[in-house]
Structure 1
């Protein structure tokens, strides 16, 4: 199978320009193979993610060209000891990944960095986000604004992270000495636990209550059920707001919809301005595509842009992904950007889905976990029930077109609980191999039923 990979590299070298081939393909190492899968090692996590997102389909097409239609490529991160040996496979000769061109600058904000590309100038404004944009900009520019806190509510990929980081970038540009802290609630929780275990809680409290001028707190829905973290954040907010410091929050849920959230904390979240970002309409999607194409130096014909805006309706990330795919295929396969090529991209991104019934998904999950369907609908909080229930809800969101309310009704839950469970499984599946394998197995079971 290593011979197949070597043959494929020869093909890739012919169709790719030297810079991209040296940067991305040369550092790859053949790790292993089975009957239908080739495992390739990447020097680092970024390289693996980039390859998965930008080259998976391209590699698949090249495999087909050399007669390996049934094979797929899996990218893995090389162990450190292996990655530093990879200078014989390419790179810059010292075993390190080459410096990436045109990577976005990052601005330090506490322990995390703000993406310098997330500015108000690059945020495409439409009917769906106009109020959120205006309030965020006014707050960042220090305009006469009667509130010092802002709650940005939006689903994934609609721009809330762009706006919260644009606020931070604007403040730091105007006042580089400002103490802007940008952090997720998950990282805040982990930092607090570390401080407690290492007798550093005084320094931790001082950092967030006294030193901080602006707190940018992402992902409030992860506070659900974390009582001690909720209490600490309550005291932190009291201190900051009493001193008229600025606090910005983001979440896909309204404060009162986050399960197991203390009332005292809900009142603090709702003490300022609350605004939501909805899905973009056709005109806004069209403007987003044109703006992102300009940033990526893509010459996007009007009819192609209109076709994509009409058919890609999910979120901004979907639009960005379609442009990246369009550029890659056009560049590597030397194809002109026309509507026919856009149709191929749209078909890949939004394939025809065979939908499953909620009841069938419940049956598959119950059979696997050996529990009764009534248990999924019960009020039980035991892990043996809540764990399969969360997975079942996640699968319903993936394999049905039912609304949050409809799915919630099928499990005797409200729509916010459905959204919370979906987000939780999406997040955990990336770090928990056991969960990932269980979900993949259940996905195959469901797909076999609806095939």
Structure 2
């Protein structure tokens, strides 16, 4: 066939060439590639180029980025004079797959790498501070990929994000061991990517995270920021899994918008599902965590000791659990009774040092508790939430310090009558409003009050 005749090849000829090409790829066992290429339609042969119809620009860019060299390599070996492929976006393209989809064969394996069997939903204490992320994680684990995809859980260090992430993986695997669960941190993802590039094993890397993954669990995704090449690879991994309906759960210490150096296209994808935060545990929650952990450790923990530890360790679930593990270990070795005095001695290096509270410390703690600034507590703004925080700070300053009304007033840039009024109002709310009563109790515990 001369060049002119080849350039004018009708669509059936292009279709026959495409079928031969797909069959060659199938013989190589590249089933994952076929999940994409089976959705492509051969349009025509034009100037030694096989023109392929694709449904949209994203699909075109993905196929071109990942499979151009594969396609053109097979075309060259077929000996039909074709040397390249080109694409045309065909809106509303409906592809009748040349081959029926090949089912993926899954085998039952041991517990996925890096998953710790101790982290389950049954060992996670659910409270107001984490109720929504816990419920969302449970929903995802019951029907992976159907609910809240992706699920993005954020919050401070040691509040239980990793526990929930692993609980999802453990629940899915225990319910169906054929489910391929991949759990790792973004740091580990980066290290595997760099190693794969260095050792020319990117095909294996992509197979692991795209073809052989049903559930992707990434811890501390914030460390992906500023790593441009890793972000690019993760972007394509995310898109592949999302398109295939695979579950994606991410944790971070902050929302996507506040991750430095994170590409906008990743920010937008991280927010496509459900974003939910884990807050610091309340006093009651800290006590419940200690009691549940004590049962797991086979430790008889008197209520007074649980309250003692919860009073002094206030911000971090991980520190609570670490304190209890140490207490249990020393008790098992010495057989001393678990009392407050025993706990104080064993945990003296863990418990924060107690300092005399002053007005400035109260202002800082109240501002952090209500998520406002210390400066705003001293301003004249009358926003309801801010006014409440200011009045609480004045009340606690009067109750927990020896400062006079005028001295407190000077710290807030107010007159002493304003402080008197605030103290009286909060005293009334403490008696009539259960929410305010709980807030004050928590703040007093954080400040070392009684």
Scaled by the length of structure 1, the TM-score of the pair is 0.53
* CA–CA separation in structure 2 for the residues paired with 1:183 and 1:107: 17
Aligned residue in 2 for 1:108: 111
Paired residue secondary structure (2:111): strand
Aligned to 1:161: 162
TM-aligned CA deviation for residue 285 of structure 1? 0.7
Deviation at 1:149, TM superposition (A): 1.4
8 Å CA contact 1:312, 1:346 repeated in 2:
no
Question: Hey, what does 1:261 align to over in structure 2?
Answer: 262
Cα distance in structure 1, aligned partners of 2:175 and 2:329: 37
Distance change >3 Å, CA 131–CA 301, structure 1 → 2 = same
Q: Distance in 2 between matches of 1:325 and 1:210?
A: 43
8 Å CA contact 1:149–1:247 kept in 2: the answer is: yes
Q: Is contact 2:144–2:247 with CA below 8 Å preserved after alignment? A: no
Match in the other structure for 1:203? 204
Matches within 5 A, 1:9-408: 108-109=111-112, 112-142=113-143, 145-352=146-353
Structure 2 CA distance for partners of 1:310 and 1:151, relative to 1, 3 Å: same
Contact 1:107 1:115 in 2 (8 A): no
- CA shift for structure 1 position 350: 2.6
CA distance in 2, matches of 1:305, 1:321: 13
Q: State the distance in 2 between where 1:175 and 1:161 align.
A: 21
Structure 1 residues 267 and 276, CA, compared in 2 at 3 Å: closer, same or farther?
Answer: same
Cα distance in 2 for residues equivalent to 1:299 and 1:243: 49
Structure 2: runs of 5 or more not aligned: 1-108, 357-364, 375-450
Based on CA coordinates, which of the two structures has the bigger radius of gyration?
2
Contact 2:184 2:219 in 1 (8 A): yes
- After TM superposition, give the deviation of residue 335 of structure 1 in Å: 2.1
CA contact (8 A) 1:155 1:252 kept: yes
Cα 1:140–1:257 change in 2 (3 A) is same
Structure 2 Cα separation of the partners of residues 179 and 264 of structure 1: 26
Distance verdict in 2 for CA 1:219–1:332, change over 3 Å: same
C-alpha displacement of 1:353:
7.1
Question: Is the contact between residue 221 and residue 252 of structure 1 (CA under 8 Å) also seen in structure 2?
Answer: yes
Asked if the contact 1:311/1:346 (under 8 Å) is kept, the reply is no
State the shift of 1:145 in Å.
4.8
Q: Distance in 1 between matches of 2:185 and 2:318?
A: 20
Whether the 8 Å contact between 2:290 and 2:320 is mirrored in structure 1 is: yes
Q: CA deviation at 1:249?
A: 0.4
Higher mean displacement: 312-321 or 132-141: 312-321
**What does the per-residue CA deviation read over 1:399-442, in whole Å, with 9 as the maximum and x for residues that have no partner?**
x99979989xxxxxxxxxxxxxxxxxxxxxxxxxxxxxxxxxxx
Where 2:349 maps in the other structure, the secondary structure is helix
On the 8 A contact 2:185/2:219 being kept in 1, the answer is yes
Shift of residue 345, structure 1, vs aligned partner = 4.1
Q: Offset of 1:354 from its aligned partner? A: 8.0
Name the CA distance, whole Å, in 2 between partners of 1:401 and 1:258: 26
1:135 deviation in Å? 0.6
Find the counterpart in structure 2 of residue 14 from structure 1. none
The 8 Å contact of residues 149 and 272 in structure 2, kept in 1 or not, is answered as no
Deviation of residue 342 (structure 1)? Answer: 2.3
The number of residue pairs the alignment matches comes to 256
The answer on whether the counterparts of 2:136 and 2:148 sit within 8 Å (CA) in structure 1 is no
| Structure 2 residue matching 1:115: 3-state secondary structure | coil
| 1:412-431 → structure 2 map (5 Å cutoff) | none
SS at structure 1 position matched to 2:153: strand
Say whether the 8 Å CA contact 1:214–1:246 is kept in structure 2.
Answer: yes
Deviation at 1:143, TM superposition (A): 8.1
Task: Give the C-alpha shift of residue 208 in structure 1.
Answer: 1.2
Change in Cα spacing, 1:405 to 1:225, as seen in structure 2 (3 Å) is farther
- Cα deviation, residue 337, structure 1: 1.0
Match of 2:439 in 1: none
TM-score (norm 2): 0.53
> Within 1, Cα distance between the matches of 2:344 and 2:123?
27
Cα deviations across residues 378-398 of structure 1 (Å, max 9, x unaligned)? xxxxxxxxxxxxxxxxxxxxx
CA 333–175 in structure 1, closer or farther in 2 if over 3 Å, else same = closer
CA RMSD of aligned residues (A): 2.7
Matched residues in 2 for 1:173 and 1:293: separation? 25
Q: Secondary structure, in 3 states, of the residue corresponding to 1:305?
A: helix
Deviation sequence 1:355-394 (CA, Å, 0-9, x none): 9xxxxxxxxxxxxxxxxxxxxxxxxxxxxxxxxxxxxxxx
Give a deviation string over 1:237-260, Cα, whole Å, max 9, x none.
111111111001011111111101
